[in-house]
Structure 1
Amino acid sequence: MVKHQSQPQPQKSYNMGTEETEPRQASGVLSNNQDAAVDSPPRKKGLHFWVLLVSIALCQFLAALDSSVLSTALPTVAAELNSGPLYLWIVNTYLLAMTACGPIFGQAADIFGRKSLTLLAIGAFALGSVISATAKSTEQLLVGRTIQGVGGAGCVVMPEILICDLVSLRERAMYVGILTACWGTGTLVAPVVGGALAEAGAWRWIFYLNLPIAGLAAVPMVMLKLRNPNKGQTFWRRLAQVDWIGNVILILAVVSLLLSLTYAGNKNPWSSWRTIVPLVLGCLGLVAFAAFEAGPWLPADSRTMPPRLFRNRTAVGGYATSFFHAMMLFWTGYFLPVYFQAVKGALPLRSAVMILPLILASAPAGFVAGFFTSKTGRCLVWQFVGWGVMAVGAGLLTLLDAESSTGHWVGFQMVFGFGLGVIFTTQLPAILASLDEADVATASAVWIFIRNLGSIWGTTIPAAVFNTRAEELAVSLPEEVRGLLVRGGAFEHATARFMNTFEQIPAVFLALLNIYTASLRLVWQISIAFCGVGFLLCILMKNLELTSEHNTEWGLEGGSAQEKKGEQMPQGQPAAASS
């Protein structure tokens, strides 16, 4: 609720130049970068706050779990269901639905309320899990994974929005750090759990295990009351505010992009029309979506991605760095296992354990950065530190080979992971500092959408680099072996099992080892350049102070005596209805 009401500040017009714009003023809502002199200390959090925090943390854990749980179990699942070439879509349908539906949840949260959308997300995730767990065919599994992806979009977007509703801008980095730790934990345990269940012949429990977690996340959300300033509107009036045309354009564009990138360099060469046509159509679709959102035919409150979010350089820089940060996260997440399996000879389950240092470093680093951001009110310095450390970490990864010691591959991962973590928790507060509090939901959803786009390219670009380099170096191999490494075969065969088939032929084994090592080295070298781009993009951003003032029409209704005492509305302002 609104704690203080200050005098409105003069507004400035938006521009894309070097001047930062003043966030729009909304009814009952103050801008984030008001004079720090009126900031108030953070109020104590009551029981209802912590119960809700546990609920949304479990939502994040669910989405993280299913984003990577199949990485070690996919061969087993695909074999049992006779998936054939459809096996790729068992993972990609989840990613596709999660990417396309994220912005929709952001807009819908402002229209229908946070509680309804969060429960819808949890329900969709649970339904998709049941369909996936009982799948008798690949097609049924794909339906379940798609529904899971829709729920996963909400389970990622809604916690970020709710954190913004519950705490001030200055505090958000610390609580985003908690969510990041939950995401990291989910990502950490998922491949191990998936691999263990697959080896035990119980892969269906990968999906059944989601149900009790979803139930635990839903119960507090059902019991607690959240304010909804749009509660008085009819359902049909709220339904009419949804940007249906824009969302359809966006979904079609994302589908086209993913269709191209899923098979590019693998089933279809990059030069094939089957790769180029959907890639071009997807990019044109994103341009068409941007043009549609900027058009005069849409009311200001009915845009999935309002152009005003991109009219100051801090927001633009923040969104751009988010894209590259997601690229680097998936870049390392997909290619460190290639190193462990093809070069170090680890089996899939062991390789999942060997990547733990990356996550074990990133989650605490993110929390520490969030804590100090909440104390100082400044977060831009962490962006520079994070990108600089990541560049150093990427440089260290280029040194890895078959002879690298455990200390080397553990330490190098932890350096890179530290950079990942401190950026993760301070990106969104940096973006929101330049925008109005009324845009929190939409801005958060756009942030996640851009990150999801970055994650798609974060697997596509290194895979293309890796496969191309391996194919170039394969000329030294016998023809029958060389044929296994062309058209994406290098990545497909980057396993300990494949390498072990040549142990009795030392010359071929050593040649393959050198090819994989050299190809990975180029992958890490190019990642250094992308880290440099991320560092330079931070220059666009202003070092805005994060205010402790919290002015919102959303948030918890009722709660503990401490919460009620700290949430008095200004005199004359009506309280929002609860959802």
Structure 2
Amino acid sequence: MSKESPPPITTTNNSTSSAPEGTSTTDAKPPSSRKGVQFWLVFLSLCFAGFVAATDSTIIFTALPTISNELGGQAQYIWLGNAYVFSSTAIQPLYGQLANIFGRRYPMIVSVALFALGSGIAGRANTSAMFISGRLVQGLGAGGMVMLIDLIVCDLLPLRERSTYLGAVLGACAVGSLVGPVIGGAIVTRTTWRWAFWINLPICAVTLASMIPFLRLSWKRSPSWMHSLLRIDYLGNIIFIGSITSILIGLVQGGIVYPWGSWRTILPLVVGFVGWAVFFVQQNFCAEPTMPLRLFAHRTSAIVYPQDFVVSVLLEWAIYILPLYFQSQLSASALTSGLDILPINAFMIPTGAVAGAILTKTGRYKPLHWAGFGVLAISCGLLSTMSSSTSTVAWAWFEILAGIGIGLPLTTQLPAIQAVLPESDTAISTSTYSFVRSFGFVWGATIPSIVFNSRVNAMLDSVDDSNVRAAPANGGAYSFALSVKNLTGPTLEQTLYVYKEAMRIVWLVGLAFALVGFLLVFAEKHIDIRITLETEFGLEGAKETKESESAVGGRVIEC
């Protein structure tokens, strides 16, 4: 077998057999599989978990100013908003290793419980330090939930079917992200901000009520708990979490707390990236690594992981920049600008579901990736042309194209990665995928912010009014966007021009990212998508049924 060959198709956990000569799994029909009540209850609980995690990641956008004022946390404003991001991003690879060692059930239940605990702490907080602590605990839970949701879906379904169900989970997450700011605004307006976090508790209770009795997955147990604990890559995780945290500190502080050229911004970034390099060296010598280098040994996985990063960057890019356009160029309020980005989610969700169905039917991911990045590049080019005179129909269609371009690769990248890896690497490949996605979201806000603010600073000389010229300078342009509508005469025209040109450059840089993703697809190698499920982590209740069904057909398939 060559290095580029896919893992063999197997029919049991203990033996392997190739597909019949002259056939291809790409052309083979996915086996029909009946899914019982246990499957659907577990799947529904995963959707609930995804919804609540996504809602909480965005609900704070509209509630944060009120929280900061009430807790006296103006000096810690950046940490109030980003503590959740820190802990949820850096912890995901560790969850992947824990899921391999202790099974999926216990890490998932602990993740939901941690998320509920953090919600209670944040909602009860009387000081900014207590609130930040609650958000850190929430993030530890959310990081595990986000990663394990994808992983459990992969455990329950053959590779060919996964993208369809991942699309459904994506829909739940997207709805949560969409309604989060609206719920936050409504809660802050009508009652105390604390309900923005307490509202998670009943949803978590319903999720746990479904998971505890029904989320029972098989797993290969270690001889003892001590043996299990010794399998954890403690050194690797310490290096990784420390390095990623250092990078995130630099990214979050840069341009807000300290200038990008300040040593206080540069030093954490340098330390973080050096530490990350040390982590990969350490992984090469670790007995059971957290992120083994074999994940990147095949050219398809080595290419699709960077594509995952690009898609995540551009998704956050659009969510970050479009409200700025609506507020500055079209005089929209904060709430209205949030509603104006609906076309992206409205088309990203069904497009992801359609892409998953196409992959399930055909087993081919490269055309979907090409189409996605191609449409995404076109949308970035069109978005760069927007100004205060752009019609509603025009910008809505530009957003629709962006949603389609993001949706096509979003649900088909993880199956493409796993097609070139054995099922035994499902947990670590999924945790790495989830980490890359979360890490991309951070860069998706950072890069356009740097480009936008630098262009605004370079063009402010064209604004005659000295007071107006000073307001958007040095990172103030984002918050000043809502005040642009109050300007009049030549000052308004000059300010609109500055914002329009700055955003034009931002979208052209985004176009470059989309084109990089498009070109990367050429390096992918097509691998037949497996149509059988071979895992040690299937539903316990379904095992006997599958064995008896398979025995009728003359073979036994264990999961």
TM-score > 0.5, shorter chain as reference: yes
1:437 match: 423
Q: CA separation in 2, counterparts of 1:352 and 1:138? A: 27
Kindly indicate whether residue 304 of structure 2 is the aligned counterpart of residue 318 of structure 1. Answer: yes
Seen in structure 2, the aligned counterparts of structure 1 residues 407 and 37 have a Cα distance that, compared at 3 Å, is: closer
Q: How many residues end up aligned between the 2 structures?
A: 553
Shift of 1:499: 2.0
Shift of 1:210: 0.8
Q: CA separation in 1, counterparts of 2:196 and 2:284? A: 43
Q: CA separation in 2, counterparts of 1:375 and 1:366? A: 14
Q: CA separation in 1, counterparts of 2:317 and 2:173? A: 17
Would the aligned equivalents of 1:47 and 1:560 in 2 still touch at CA under 8 Å? no
Would the aligned equivalents of 2:118 and 2:137 in 1 still touch at CA under 8 Å? yes
**One-letter amino acid of the structure 2 residue matched with residue 70 of structure 1:** I
2:472 match: 485
Kindly indicate whether residue 71 of structure 2 is the aligned counterpart of residue 84 of structure 1. Answer: no
Seen in structure 2, the aligned counterparts of structure 1 residues 61 and 225 have a Cα distance that, compared at 3 Å, is: closer
Kindly indicate whether residue 42 of structure 2 is the aligned counterpart of residue 52 of structure 1. Answer: yes
Would the aligned equivalents of 1:324 and 1:534 in 2 still touch at CA under 8 Å? yes
Unaligned runs of 5+ in 1: 1-10
Would the aligned equivalents of 1:128 and 1:144 in 2 still touch at CA under 8 Å? yes
Q: CA separation in 2, counterparts of 1:278 and 1:163? A: 36
Q: CA separation in 2, counterparts of 1:237 and 1:422? A: 42
Shift of 1:23: 7.2
Shift of 1:58: 1.1
Kindly indicate whether residue 102 of structure 2 is the aligned counterpart of residue 117 of structure 1. Answer: no
Q: CA separation in 1, counterparts of 2:522 and 2:512? A: 16
Seen in structure 2, the aligned counterparts of structure 1 residues 156 and 31 have a Cα distance that, compared at 3 Å, is: farther
Shift of 1:491: 2.1
2:128 match: 138
Would the aligned equivalents of 1:32 and 1:434 in 2 still touch at CA under 8 Å? no
Q: Which shifted more, 117-126 or 25-34?
A: 25-34
Any idea what the Cα deviations from partners look like across 1:500-558, whole Å, max 9, x if unmatched?
Answer: 4x43x422222222211111111111111100000111112112221211111111011
User: Equivalences for 1:252-401 in 2 at 5 Å?
Assistant: 252-295=242-285, 298-299=286-287, 302-401=288-387
Q: Which shifted more, 24-33 or 68-77?
A: 24-33
Any idea what the Cα deviations from partners look like across 1:332-352, whole Å, max 9, x if unmatched?
Answer: 011111111122122211211
Would the aligned equivalents of 1:363 and 1:421 in 2 still touch at CA under 8 Å? yes
Would the aligned equivalents of 2:13 and 2:558 in 1 still touch at CA under 8 Å? no
Seen in structure 2, the aligned counterparts of structure 1 residues 292 and 164 have a Cα distance that, compared at 3 Å, is: same
Would the aligned equivalents of 1:65 and 1:186 in 2 still touch at CA under 8 Å? yes
Q: Which shifted more, 63-72 or 433-442?
A: 63-72
**SS of corresponding position for 1:71:** helix
Q: 231, 238, 255: which one pairs with 1:241?
A: 231
Q: CA separation in 2, counterparts of 1:31 and 1:101? A: 35
2:33 match: 43
Q: 20, 23, 28: which one pairs with 2:13?
A: 28
Would the aligned equivalents of 2:11 and 2:556 in 1 still touch at CA under 8 Å? no
Seen in structure 2, the aligned counterparts of structure 1 residues 395 and 508 have a Cα distance that, compared at 3 Å, is: same
Would the aligned equivalents of 2:535 and 2:558 in 1 still touch at CA under 8 Å? no
**One-letter amino acid of the structure 2 residue matched with residue 41 of structure 1:** P
2:507 match: 524
Unaligned runs of 5+ in 2: none
Shift of 1:571: 10
Q: CA separation in 2, counterparts of 1:572 and 1:549? A: 13
Q: CA separation in 2, counterparts of 1:226 and 1:33? A: 30
Kindly indicate whether residue 398 of structure 2 is the aligned counterpart of residue 408 of structure 1. Answer: no
Kindly indicate whether residue 164 of structure 2 is the aligned counterpart of residue 174 of structure 1. Answer: yes
Q: CA separation in 1, counterparts of 2:215 and 2:56? A: 29
1:155 match: 145
Would the aligned equivalents of 1:46 and 1:563 in 2 still touch at CA under 8 Å? no
**One-letter amino acid of the structure 2 residue matched with residue 131 of structure 1:** I
**SS of corresponding position for 1:198:** helix
Would the aligned equivalents of 2:12 and 2:556 in 1 still touch at CA under 8 Å? no
Seen in structure 2, the aligned counterparts of structure 1 residues 140 and 429 have a Cα distance that, compared at 3 Å, is: same
Any idea what the Cα deviations from partners look like across 1:212-245, whole Å, max 9, x if unmatched?
Answer: 1111211121102523333353222111111111
Q: CA separation in 2, counterparts of 1:440 and 1:236? A: 24
Would the aligned equivalents of 1:25 and 1:436 in 2 still touch at CA under 8 Å? no
1:512 match: 495
Return the structure number with greater relative CO, CA threshold 8 A, min gap 6.
Answer: 1
Any idea what the Cα deviations from partners look like across 1:454-481, whole Å, max 9, x if unmatched?
Answer: 1111111100000000111111233333
Q: 539, 546, 551: which one pairs with 2:534?
A: 551
Identity %: 35
2:519 match: 536
Kindly indicate whether residue 417 of structure 2 is the aligned counterpart of residue 427 of structure 1. Answer: no
Q: CA separation in 2, counterparts of 1:570 and 1:452? A: 43
**One-letter amino acid of the structure 2 residue matched with residue 523 of structure 1:** V
Kindly indicate whether residue 489 of structure 2 is the aligned counterpart of residue 499 of structure 1. Answer: no
Seen in structure 2, the aligned counterparts of structure 1 residues 574 and 539 have a Cα distance that, compared at 3 Å, is: closer
**SS of corresponding position for 1:444:** helix
Q: TM-score, normalised by structure 2?
A: 0.94
**One-letter amino acid of the structure 1 residue matched with residue 537 of structure 2:** W
1:8 match: none
**One-letter amino acid of the structure 2 residue matched with residue 432 of structure 1:** Q
Would the aligned equivalents of 1:366 and 1:422 in 2 still touch at CA under 8 Å? yes
Seen in structure 2, the aligned counterparts of structure 1 residues 119 and 293 have a Cα distance that, compared at 3 Å, is: same
Q: Which shifted more, 153-162 or 340-349?
A: 340-349
Shift of 1:561: 8.5
Q: TM-score, normalised by structure 1?
A: 0.91
Any idea what the Cα deviations from partners look like across 1:135-165, whole Å, max 9, x if unmatched?
Answer: 1111111111111111111111111111111
**SS of corresponding position for 1:73:** helix
Would the aligned equivalents of 1:82 and 1:138 in 2 still touch at CA under 8 Å? yes
Shift of 1:166: 0.6
Shift of 1:43: 1.2
Any idea what the Cα deviations from partners look like across 1:353-408, whole Å, max 9, x if unmatched?
Answer: 11111100100000011011111111221111000011111111112211222212
**SS of corresponding position for 1:540:** coil
Q: CA separation in 1, counterparts of 2:224 and 2:471? A: 61
Seen in structure 2, the aligned counterparts of structure 1 residues 310 and 204 have a Cα distance that, compared at 3 Å, is: same
**SS of corresponding position for 2:451:** helix
**One-letter amino acid of the structure 2 residue matched with residue 210 of structure 1:** N
Shift of 1:568: 6.2
Would the aligned equivalents of 1:133 and 1:205 in 2 still touch at CA under 8 Å? yes
**SS of corresponding position for 1:552:** coil
Shift of 1:574: 12
